[in-house]
Amino acid sequence: MIDYSKALSQKARDLKPSGIRKFFDMLEGRKGVISLTVGQPDFATPWHIRDAGIDSIADGHTFYTSNRGTPEMRRELSNYLERRFDLTYNPETELLVTVGASEAIDLAIRATVDEGDEVIVPMPSFVCYDPLVHMAGGKSVVIECTAEDNFKLTPEKLRAAITERTKLIVLPYPSNPTGVILEKAELEALAKVILETNAVVLSDEIYAELTYGKKHCSIATLPAMKERTIVVNGFSKAYAMTGWRLGYSAAPEQLTEAMFKIHQYGVMCAPTVSQYAATEALRNGDADIEMMKEEYDRRRKYLVKALNDIGLPCPKPEGAFYVFMQVGHYGLSSEEFCERLLEEQQVAIVPGNAFGQCGEGYARLSYAYSLEHLKEAVKRMEKFVQSLK
Ligand SMILES: Cc1ncc(COP(=O)(O)O)c(C=O)c1O
């Protein structure tokens, strides 16, 4: 019989299951649960985008594309980045179409990190950075961003975390799970610290389109930052296209080339049908983004006020579609709070510590759900917190 403990790599065996997954597993088979756990739009992909995908299949575009993505898509992407975010990238050499932003993140890490190298990861944040750094043989250096810092990475904390081995700095803003954004002046202060090093920045801007009020600013637009920044983005959140698995990176040629080599051997190219659909999204999708954003904004305003009113304080998030609410003041750990809320009121939310230890005392709620759904969840949460008093 095969001995799997010997068959599996040490790195794979050391990988811990995601804290979010653990909570999803608890939901399985339960009836009547109101879930606010999922980080994906509740909208279906707009029809003109779906049609472009359908047409591409009907027209026989069922083959591999250029490894980097179709030239047409990269041209549209280049126009889009310029139009929406003042980012200038050469479609021939600086853009790479990937399997979701997820692949772009993995490529960015693997293209820059050698065994023992350090990657700075501000937390609480999305769950993939640390495990992917681990698989690349690197070491995550976690910066704990706390409520006192408004969950933002500060230049002081960044400077203190940098060593000679720092190869990559992850900037995950707008943030999942906190909804925090970094404004230009804050990015400038971080850039000042980063420019003293030889480190590359992995700027995960998947929520760039979903900011409420203040326009997203990419660190790559700041002086001298473009040459050391890998911008990662994708179609999942802005265009409600999670299942199409399409993302991209934008970075100077040397960085793109290194990522491209890994991409070419690992996946050949991103799905062809998705590239055709995404090209339409880039061309004619601005109004869809606006429509969905307005709806998220309505929900955001409702939810923040409602939660504060029932004794679950949370700051107003400025981006993405999450609320990071305080639960620690009820004397329960984040996990206890969420487990009991699920048991007693059938509402599912994600414990804050799933996004890093500094998320303890908090919980993440997604408002990528209808207002009706949110209202029912709030009603149940109110009953739950009343019972804790
Ligand atoms: C911050 C962040 N980055 C990246 C991703 C992955 O996105 P994609 O579906 O494009 O792989 C997510 C998905 O939740 C996310 O929240």
| CATH code of residue 269 | 3.40.640.10
319 Cβ closer than 6 Å to some ligand 1 atom: no
pLDDT of residue 20: 78
204 in the same domain as 191:
yes
Extended strands (E) in 172-240: 200-204, 229-234
Q: Which atom of ligand 1 is nearest to the CA of 102?
A: 11
The position carrying tokens 């890093």 is 356
- The length of the chain in residues reads 389
Q: Is residue 389 part of a domain?
A: no
Q: Measure the CA–CA gap between 378 and 310, rounded to whole angstroms.
A: 8
348 contacts 342 by C-beta, under 8 angstroms:
yes
Q: pLDDT confidence of 107, banded at 50, 70, 90?
A: very high
With a pLDDT cut of 70, the percent of the chain lying above it is 100
Q: What is the Å distance from ligand 1's center to 360 Cα?
A: 22
235 contacts 241 by C-beta, under 8 angstroms:
yes
Give me 55's structure tokens: 């047409």
67 Cβ closer than 6 Å to some ligand 1 atom: no
314 Cβ closer than 6 Å to some ligand 1 atom: no
**297 phi and psi angles, rounded to 5 deg:** -65, -40
Averaged confidence pLDDT in the chain: 96
**363 phi and psi angles, rounded to 5 deg:** -145, 150
Q: Is residue 2 part of a domain?
A: no
Q: Measure the CA–CA gap between 298 and 56, rounded to whole angstroms.
A: 35
311 φ/ψ sector (left φ>0, alpha ψ -120 to 50, else beta): left
223 in the same domain as 106:
yes
User: What is the average per-residue pLDDT within 335-339?
Assistant: 95
pLDDT of residue 29: 83
72 in the same domain as 31:
no
Q: Which amino acid would we find at residue 318?
A: E
101 Cβ closer than 6 Å to some ligand 1 atom: yes
304 in the same domain as 212:
no
126 Cβ closer than 6 Å to some ligand 1 atom: yes
118 in the same domain as 228:
yes
**Residue 278: pLDDT above 90?**
yes
Q: What is the Å distance from ligand 1's center to 206 Cα?
A: 6
User: What is the average per-residue pLDDT within 56-80?
Assistant: 98
User: What is the average per-residue pLDDT within 250-259?
Assistant: 98
Q: Is residue 1 part of a domain?
A: no
Torsion angle of the four alpha carbons 249, 254, 260, 266, in this order, in degrees rounded to the nearest 10: -110
User: What is the average per-residue pLDDT within 190-217?
Assistant: 97
247 Cβ closer than 6 Å to some ligand 1 atom: yes
Task: Quote the Cα angle for 20-319-279, to 5°.
Answer: 90
178 contacts 141 by C-beta, under 8 angstroms:
no
Q: Measure the CA–CA gap between 341 and 152, rounded to whole angstroms.
A: 28
38 in the same domain as 20:
yes
162 in the same domain as 121:
yes
348 in the same domain as 249:
no
**Could you please report the per-residue DSSP string of 62-125?**
-S---TT--HHHHHHHHHHHHHHH-----TTTSEEEESHHHHHHHHHHHHH--TT-EEEEEES-
pLDDT of residue 9: 96
113 contacts 136 by C-beta, under 8 angstroms:
yes
242 Cβ closer than 6 Å to some ligand 1 atom: yes
Of 263, 285, 307, the last residue of a domain is 285
Q: What is the Å distance from ligand 1's center to 351 Cα?
A: 18
**Residue 21: pLDDT above 80?**
no
Q: Is residue 375 part of a domain?
A: yes
Range of the domain at 358: 8-45+287-384
178 Cβ closer than 6 Å to some ligand 1 atom: no
Our measurement of the distance from residue 111's CA atom to the centroid of its chain's CA atoms, rounded to an integer in Å, reads 20
Q: pLDDT confidence of 18, banded at 50, 70, 90?
A: confident
Our measurement of the distance from residue 63's CA atom to the centroid of its chain's CA atoms, rounded to an integer in Å, reads 29
Of 222, 251, 285, the last residue of a domain is 285
41 Cβ closer than 6 Å to some ligand 1 atom: no
Q: Measure the CA–CA gap between 301 and 309, rounded to whole angstroms.
A: 12
Of 265, 285, 305, the last residue of a domain is 285
Q: Is 386 exposed, middle or buried (0-12, 13-18, 19+ CB in 10 A)?
A: exposed
pLDDT of residue 270: 98
Listed residue (237, 169, 240, 251) closest to 208, CA to CA: 237
| Test site for ligand 1: of 24, 38, 126, 202, most ligand atoms within 8 A of the Cβ | 126
66 in the same domain as 17:
no
62 in the same domain as 206:
yes
Q: Is residue 58 part of a domain?
A: yes
Q: pLDDT confidence of 261, banded at 50, 70, 90?
A: very high
Q: What is the Å distance from ligand 1's center to 299 Cα?
A: 21
219 contacts 229 by C-beta, under 8 angstroms:
yes
Q: What is the Å distance from ligand 1's center to 329 Cα?
A: 30
The position carrying tokens 């590239």 is 275
**Could you please report the per-residue DSSP string of 232-251?**
EEESTTTTT-GGG--EEEE-
User: What is the average per-residue pLDDT within 257-285?
Assistant: 98
Q: Is residue 3 part of a domain?
A: no
pLDDT of residue 28: 81
> Considering its fold, how many domains does the chain have in total?
2
**45 phi and psi angles, rounded to 5 deg:** -55, 130
218 in the same domain as 240:
yes
Q: Which atom of ligand 1 is nearest to the CA of 207?
A: 1
Q: Is residue 278 part of a domain?
A: yes
- pLDDT tens digits, residue range 303-328? 999 999 999 999 899 999 999 999 99
Q: What is the Å distance from ligand 1's center to 132 Cα?
A: 13
- Which residues, at least 6 apart from 46, have a Cβ–Cβ distance to it below 8 Å? 239, 240, 281, 285, 288
| Domain harbouring 377, CATH code | 3.90.1150.10
| Test site for ligand 1: of 236, 244, 321, 366, most ligand atoms within 8 A of the Cβ | 236
Parallel, antiparallel or unpaired: strands 350-351 and 347-348: unpaired
pLDDT of residue 372: 96
301 in the same domain as 275:
no
User: What is the average per-residue pLDDT within 128-134?
Assistant: 97
The position carrying tokens 């990475």 is 153
Instruction: Count other Cβ atoms within 10 Å, centred on residue 260.
Output: 19
Q: Measure the CA–CA gap between 374 and 321, rounded to whole angstroms.
A: 13
